[in-house]
Amino acid sequence: MERFITFIKNNETGEEFISMRKAMAGAHDNVMKQESLKYPLPRFTVHTTYTDIELRDILETLDRWTGTSVMKDLNRLENRLDAIPQLVHKLSS
């Protein structure tokens, strides 16, 4: 199982946010389909989905090519992402 992070826009408010779900490795198309059902057009636009590993690779590449330290920010984001499933679990209990 991998953690997928999907980027979504609320077309009514302009707010951009993420949604997370766990799915089997390589299930990008299925995750996009599920998120599109959960957040349907025209109210939402589901942009794309990445695994957390893919996002880490993207940010490491940015670090290398731009000389900007985004890995520090990624570690803070990762700590927040790790806390979210625990919170959801507590709320659903």
What are the extents of the domains in the chain?
Answer: 2-92
Give the per-residue pLDDT at 87. 46
> CA separation (Å) from 44 to 19, 20, 39, 47, 77?
12, 16, 6, 9, 24
Per-residue pLDDT of 7-38, as tens digits, reads 999 999 999 999 999 999 999 999 999 999 99
Place of tokens 């599109």: 36
Global pTM?
0.69
Give the per-residue pLDDT at 91. 45
Give the per-residue pLDDT at 26. 94
Per-residue pLDDT of 68-91, as tens digits, reads 666 666 677 677 666 555 444 444
